[in-house]
Amino acid sequence: MSWVAAVFGLVGAVLGVLSGAFVEPLKLRFAAKARRRDERVDRSGQVVKAARDTRDALTEVKAIFKLRQRQRVPASFGPWDRGQQAMDEARKAGSALRGATALVELSGPDALASAARAMRNAAAPLLLEPPSTEEAFDASLSTFDAKLDEFIAAARRHVG
């Protein structure tokens, strides 16, 4: 009876090793895929947060712009000018947006990277030199919002 147990033990060991040899690469592949998905979720979240911060700062710049037009306040009236502070905050948020977008461009996929690039390009004119009229400012912000919505939709497709 001992030789039968030995044969069954040997066959079981061989089958265990073979099944492990076939299953382990599958486990590793699924783990790598999950890791890439988590990375995309994190990077997409960074882009959306940076975009929202940029938009909030630009909205504040627009509010100050409107207030100045209504009250006929000079564009700059001292070193502690709130308009300049708001523009500096917007540029800092825009810098964070560029960094987060670059990470998405590095990791892909291409559709997500191009949506992030389009959103960053829509924010660039607002951050370099804000439009001189309220209508132009609103149009630029609307374009930025549309590109942000497109990025969020692309992120949902590629992450979810």
Return d(Cα 33, Cα 25) in angstroms, integer: 12
Token pair 């998405």 in the structure block, residue: 104
Better-predicted residue by pLDDT, 26 or 41: 41
Per-residue pLDDT tens digits for 66-90:
777 777 655 555 434 677 888 888 8
Put residue 145 in one of left, alpha, beta given phi > 0 → left and psi -120 to 50 → alpha: alpha
Angle at 116 between CA 111 and CA 121, to 5 degrees: 125
DSSP 72: T
Per DSSP, helices labelled H in the chain are 2-71, 82-107, 110-128, 134-159
Domains of the chain: 39-159 (1.20.120)
pLDDT at 116 over 60: yes
pLDDT tens column, 125-151: 888 887 778 888 888 899 999 999 999
